[in-house]
Amino acid sequence: MPSIEERAIHRLNYGNWSLEKDYIAVESVLSIDIKSPTKLERWVSILRTPGNDEALIRGLIHSERVMTNNRGFEIEYGESSATILVPDESYQIAARGRISNGSACGICGRQDFSDLLNVVHQCELSQLNIDDEIIVNLPATMKDSQAAFTSTGGIHASALFTTEGEMLLMMEDIGRHNAVDKVIGQAKISSIEMHNCILCLSGRIGSELVLKAAAAGISVIIAVGAASSMAIDLAREAGIALYGFTRDGSSVSYNQPIAQG
């Protein structure tokens, strides 16, 4: 299934309507089941942009701590579904208030998310020293690689960078949480150590994205948008350096001590 499709639209320009074609980001359901030797159960149904589904699933498994061994399973795919084949019963699915999840945030639909908060409380992440010029330039570097956003204008991006500003990988998805899960999942597939990396986001910084970064051991988040109050509090708790409004040569640091000259 393609991630972008062409649709007919009517465009208004200076008082005149014209029939044109435009590129639209695809949004479709992916239902994920878990099958062990003794049972088959529905884990979650999410809306996502098709493509990099394995990275999405592995990232979501890692973010939600479904199992400790992220490689100890196989994935079978259907037309709009995936089944995770696990060798035993050593996985954990958080209780959810509803089965369907808009963008796989890891919190939406949960009856309790204290287990995810414990990830933050227990982590010991060290902040990295990053040159100011690298901080303000990372979103622009990421945007240069956002092919789907360039075509549609309606898709989020997430990227993993080194502290020297080298982009290791970038993922796009109509869900900003999915984009982060895809990056984390692909990093796990590619055996990239994330504790020395920077997570760059095309949108705002919500608490759920800080939790995903903490679970992956990422200690720096840089975003184009703002951070929420809980995101700032959780980042401080975890030792994650948080930068928002990073664009046009400027940035806002929410919890990083800045040397005064």
The torsion of the CA quartet 23, 202, 188, 210, rounded to 10 degrees, works out to -140
Going by C-alpha positions, the residue among 256, 184, 170 that lies closest to residue 220 is 256
pLDDT averaged over the chain?
A: 85
pLDDT of residue 104: 44
Fold of 132-253: Cytidine Deaminase; domain 2 (3.40.140)
Which parts of the chain have pLDDT scores under 70? 68-71, 94-127, 150, 256-261
pLDDT of residue 96: 47
Where in the chain are the domains? 28-113, 132-253
Please indicate whether residue 108 is annotated as part of the active site. no
pTM of the complete model: 0.86
Query: Which residue in 105, 123, 197, 200 is the catalytic one?
Result: 105
pLDDT of residue 116: 59
Cα–Cα dist 46/48, whole Å:
6
